[in-house]
């Protein structure tokens, strides 16, 4: 009697095809994100507002609603990667963190997102500001642009572990291509610090509450990290939406020149702007970079929550 063997190869082909289609679906999601991912600005986070405006410090119209017209778009963004080593217990208590970010799209009002995604305790931000940088590679701010940030009208916010908070909008004219300083102060231990390690941008840290200092002199510690801040949105007449670029180290720009904004998503934003100025009929999009060095489509990093979260798992966020 002859034994038939034709079913086993057929089953193998079916299993192989199923795995192929699963991987193809994952890759298709990434292609869509890179080519046509439209940035949806975040709704206010779950942080609890603290403090009040009547505390004697200048806030320069920080709680007023925007009066200009336009569209809220992403001007800069980064992906939270994990908890910063060495900050597990105290975080950065008693320090001011001055992040330097680069605006792709200009606007007349701004708001920022702060993340405590990898924190294990509530993050108490009692003071936060935004200002234009006074120049390249400096912690100094243009004093006339210093604005205090508020959260649902309060001067501070407590962000629970694993959550984020979006500030109120402030009036601030931000030209595209400008460095913007986002500064936060937390007086109490809260760690680990949620950070992006391969910023390719120097930011600064000062001891004490130096949030509204415009001279930059107290900011003696330089750092290659972005901490807490994950997005800068602007009310813009230059863009109607945002392309979110999604990928690994090539997108993150791990080997690009520090402080030069020469990652390929930066160049894409510049090319889109130049093409529009030359009269090309293209969509008006800003570009933000959500790349993470070493990121994988299917595999998470270690920890709970997972550091360097997989592309599929972080796509929705």
How much is the pLDDT for 22? Answer: 54
How much is the pLDDT for 81? Answer: 98
pLDDT mean over 148-173: 98
pLDDT digits (tens, 9 = 90+) for 38-52: 444 444 456 888 875
Instruction: From 248, 283, 251, 281, select the one nearest 266 (Cα to Cα).
Output: 251
Q: In the chain, what are the domains? A: 48-239 (2.60.120)
How much is the pLDDT for 304? Answer: 82
pLDDT digits (tens, 9 = 90+) for 177-220: 999 999 999 999 999 999 999 999 999 999 999 999 999 999 99
Q: Residue 89, CB half-sphere, CA atoms under 13 Å: how many?
A: 1
C-alpha separations of 166 from 5, 196, 244, 281, 300 in Å: 62, 18, 19, 34, 26
How much is the pLDDT for 113? Answer: 98
How much is the pLDDT for 117? Answer: 97
pLDDT digits (tens, 9 = 90+) for 217-262: 999 999 999 999 999 999 999 999 999 999 999 999 999 999 999 9
Tally of CB atoms within 10 A around 73: 24
How much is the pLDDT for 19? Answer: 53
Phi, psi at 66, each rounded to 5°:
-60, 140
Q: Residue 39, CB half-sphere, CA atoms under 13 Å: how many?
A: 30
Point out which residues pair with 148 in neighbouring strands. 129
Report residue 37's pLDDT band, with 50, 70 and 90 as the boundaries.
very low
Tally of CB atoms within 10 A around 237: 15
Report residue 15's pLDDT band, with 50, 70 and 90 as the boundaries.
low
């Amino acid at each position: 009697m002859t034994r038939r063997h034709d079913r086993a190869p057929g089953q193998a082909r079916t299993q192989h095809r199923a795995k192929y289609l699963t991987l193809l679906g994952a890759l298709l999601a990434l292609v869509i994100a890179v080519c046509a991912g439209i940035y949806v600005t975040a709704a206010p986070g779950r942080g609890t507002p603290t403090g009040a405006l009547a505390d004697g410090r200048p806030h320069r119209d920080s709680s007023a609603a925007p009066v200009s017209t336009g569209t809220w778009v992403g001007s800069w963004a980064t992906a939270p990667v994990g908890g910063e080593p060495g900050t597990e217990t105290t975080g950065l208590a008693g320090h001011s963190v001055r992040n330097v970010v680069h605006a792709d799209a200009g606007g007349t009002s701004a708001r920022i997102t702060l993340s405590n995604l990898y924190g294990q305790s509530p993050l108490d931000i009692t003071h936060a500001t935004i200002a234009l940088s006074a120049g390249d590679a400096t912690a100094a701010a243009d004093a006339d642009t210093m604005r205090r940030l508020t959260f649902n009208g309060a001067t501070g916010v407590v962000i629970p572990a694993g959550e984020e908070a979006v500030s109120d909008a402030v009036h601030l004219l931000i030209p595209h291509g400008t460095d913007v300083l986002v500064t936060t102060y937390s007086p109490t231990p809260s760690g680990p610090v949620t950070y992006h390690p391969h910023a390719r941008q120097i930011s600064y840290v000062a001891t004490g509450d130096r949030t509204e200092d415009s001279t930059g002199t107290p900011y003696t510690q330089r750092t290659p990290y972005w901490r807490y801040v994950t997005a800068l949105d602007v009310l813009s007449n230059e863009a109607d939406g945002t392309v979110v670029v999604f990928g690994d180290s090539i997108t993150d720009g791990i080997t690009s020149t520090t402080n030069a904004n020469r990652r390929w998503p930066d160049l894409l934003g510049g090319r889109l702007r130049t093409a529009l100025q030359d009269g090309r009929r293209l969509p008006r999009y800003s570009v933000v970079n959500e790349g993470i060095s070493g990121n994988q489509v299917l595999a998470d990093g270690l920890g709970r929550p997972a550091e360097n979260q997989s592309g599929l798992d972080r796509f929705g966020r």
